[in-house]
Amino acid sequence: MFAPPIQRLIAEFAKLPGVGQRTAQRLALHVLRGTDADAASLAAAIAEVKAQVRPCEICFDLTDQVRCRICEDPRRDATTLCVVEDPADVISLERTHEFHGRYHVLGGALSPLDGVDPEDLRLPELYRRLRGSEVRELIVATNPTTSGEATALHIARELRGVAPQVRVTRLAAGLSVGADLEYTDEVTLGRALLGRREL
C-alpha cells in the first residue's frame, strides 16, 4: 500500500511502546507532510538523546551530565531515599511536588520467569549507598504488580542485614480519586481497607 521507505518508517514508529499500527501510520504521514527541516530536527533530537543521555552515577536516573540535577541539589533531603523501577517513575513522583528526598532507579523489577534476578537490577548499588549513609527511610515505590511486590519484599528482607538502621516503607495502595467501589477489584479494595486512616 505504501512505498517501502514509508512502510519502514511506520514499522519503526510501531516499535515504540503504546504506538499501534494506525498511530504509527499517522506519525509517518505527519513526518512526510512536514518540512525537511522538521524531519532533520526530529532525527537530530533522536541522535542527540542517544549520544548524550546516560544514567546518573549515583541514582541511575537519566541525565546528560555525570550526576543528575536531583543528586546535585543540596536542598534535597538526603535522609530519605525513594526506590523506583524506571526513570519514568521519578518523573511521576516529581510531578506531585510532595517528595523532597533522593531517588534510586533499579532498572526494572524482579521477575524470575522472565529471567530478571537480583543481580540484573541495581540492588548491589542500592545496598552500597545505604551502608553507613545518612539515609533513615527507604521508600519502596515499585509498581503494585507481582514483580513489583516481590522486589519490595526482597529489598526489605535484604536491608535487615545490610542497613538495619534504615526504616523501609511502601507507598500506600488503594482507591484512586473518583473511583466507584462497585467497579473496584477485590485486591485494590482490600488494600484500601488495610491502609485506612483517621479523618
pLDDT at 178: 78
> Mind listing the domains of the chain with CATH numbers?
4-51 (1.10.8.420), 77-170 (3.40.1360.10)
The low-confidence residues of the chain, meaning pLDDT below 50, are: none
Task: Judge if pTM exceeds 0.85.
Answer: no
Distances, alpha carbon 188 to alpha carbons 85, 174, 175, 184, 191, in Å: 21, 5, 7, 7, 5
Tens-digit pLDDT profile for residues 9-64: 999 999 999 999 999 999 999 999 999 999 999 999 999 999 999 999 999 999 99
The mean pLDDT value of the chain amounts to 92
Contacts of 140 (CB under 8 A, 6+ apart): 83, 151, 152, 155, 156, 168, 169, 170, 171
The enclosing H or E element of 179 equals none
Percent of the chain with pLDDT over 70: 99
Strands 62-63 and 54-55: antiparallel
Q: Are 71 and 56 in contact (CB under 8 A)?
A: yes
